[in-house]
Amino acid sequence: MVADIKKWEKWELWERGVRGYFPPENFVMVDHPREYVDRYSEANEKPDYTFRIRETGEEFYVECKYRSNIIGDMVDVCKVRQIYRYRDQAKQKAFYIFLYLDCSGDRRGYYFFPLSVVKNCKLFYSRIKNYRVDLGSFDFFTARRAGEIPE
């Protein structure tokens, strides 16, 4: 139980940090991560965040992922049951994954990409390497206009 709480705290810090890249002057935070509880909650089936662009009213999901290793060229993005749920949710709104790879070497970093990049639960690093973002200058609108993030 203690190990689970520490793992949850690490994820929670990453998730809370992500929302800083969607400033309140441009985005309404419609839904956000749930608190850790020691039993399953259906609320955890939702993506981590739902944001609405203030200017257009468009809503989209952001799922935060923290991974600490890559095996060969493979990144384990999600579980089988999650990919099916994500695809169902993506039928309602645009769905993005904000991934932090905390591993050694030049692959360590932050990646922001549409769910459509994920064909199954494991993903070749080569599929996401072009979606690497610099957190110091990350801007959703700039990336979208440049075609880095499809609309």
Q: Are β-strands 132-133 and 109-114 bridged in parallel, bridged antiparallel, or unpaired?
A: antiparallel
Domains and their CATH numbers in the chain: 2-145 (3.40.1350.10)
What is the structure's pLDDT at 25?
Answer: 94
What is the structure's pLDDT at 83?
Answer: 87
Residues of the chain with pLDDT below 70 are 1-8, 10-11, 33-43, 103-105, 145-151
79 DSSP assignment:
-
What is the structure's pLDDT at 29?
Answer: 92
Q: How far is CA 77 from CA 1, 30, 124, in A?
A: 24, 24, 10
What is the structure's pLDDT at 148?
Answer: 58
What is the structure's pLDDT at 2?
Answer: 44
The pTM of the full predicted model, rounded to 2 decimals, is 0.82
Contacts of 128 (CB under 8 A, 6+ apart): 75, 99, 111, 113, 117
Contacts of 46 (CB under 8 A, 6+ apart): 31, 34, 89
Distance CA 146, CA 137 (A): 14
What is the structure's pLDDT at 41?
Answer: 65
